[in-house]
Structure 1
Amino acid sequence: MTTLPRGAAAPSHRAVRRRRAVAVAGAVSAGLLVLAACDKPTPIATITVGTDSVSSEATCGGEGKALNTEALNKCLQDKGIDEISVDPTKAVRFGVDPDIADNGWTILLNGQPLVESSKKTYQEIPGSVFFNAQYGAQGDSTLVSIKEGEAAATGLWSFRLKKSDD
Structure 2
Amino acid sequence: MTAAFFRGKRRRAAAAAGAVTFGLLALSACDKPTPLATVTVGSTTVTTEAACYEKGKELGDKALNECVKDKTPKTVKVKHGDKVRVGVEPDIADKGWVAVTSGAMGPVQRTNQLKQTYTTLDGDELFVNQQMRRVEDSTILTILTKDGVWNFKLELDKG
TM-score (norm. length: structure 2)? 0.91
Structure 2: which 5+ residue stretches go unaligned? Answer: none
Distance change in 2, residues 1:73/1:147 (3 Å): same
Structure 2 distance, partners of 1:147, 1:68, is 13
Mean Cα deviation higher: 98-107 or 125-134: 125-134
Equivalent of residue 151 in structure 2, options 150, 158, 163: 158
Structure 2 distance, partners of 1:162, 1:107, is 17
| Correspondence 1:29 to 2:21 | yes
Q: Which amino acid aligns with 1:102?
A: D
Query: How far 1:138 moved relative to its partner?
Result: 5.9
Correspondences of 1:11-160 after superposition (within 5 Å):
11-110=3-102, 111-134=107-130, 139-148=136-145, 153-160=146-153
Structure 2 distance, partners of 1:135, 1:26, is 64
Query: How far 1:92 moved relative to its partner?
Result: 0.2
Structure 1: which 5+ residue stretches go unaligned? Answer: 1-8
Q: Which amino acid aligns with 2:8?
A: V
The structure having more radius of gyration, on CA atoms, is 1
Name the SS of the counterpart of 2:130 in structure 1.
helix
Q: Which amino acid aligns with 1:99?
A: D
Structure 2 distance, partners of 1:38, 1:135, is 45
Work out the percentage of aligned pairs sharing the same amino acid: 42
Name the SS of the counterpart of 2:99 in structure 1.
strand
Query: How far 1:62 moved relative to its partner?
Result: 4.7
Relative to its length, the structure with more strand (as a share) is: 2
Deviations 1:82-106 (A, max 9, x none): 1100112110000000000000000
Query: How far 1:76 moved relative to its partner?
Result: 1.7
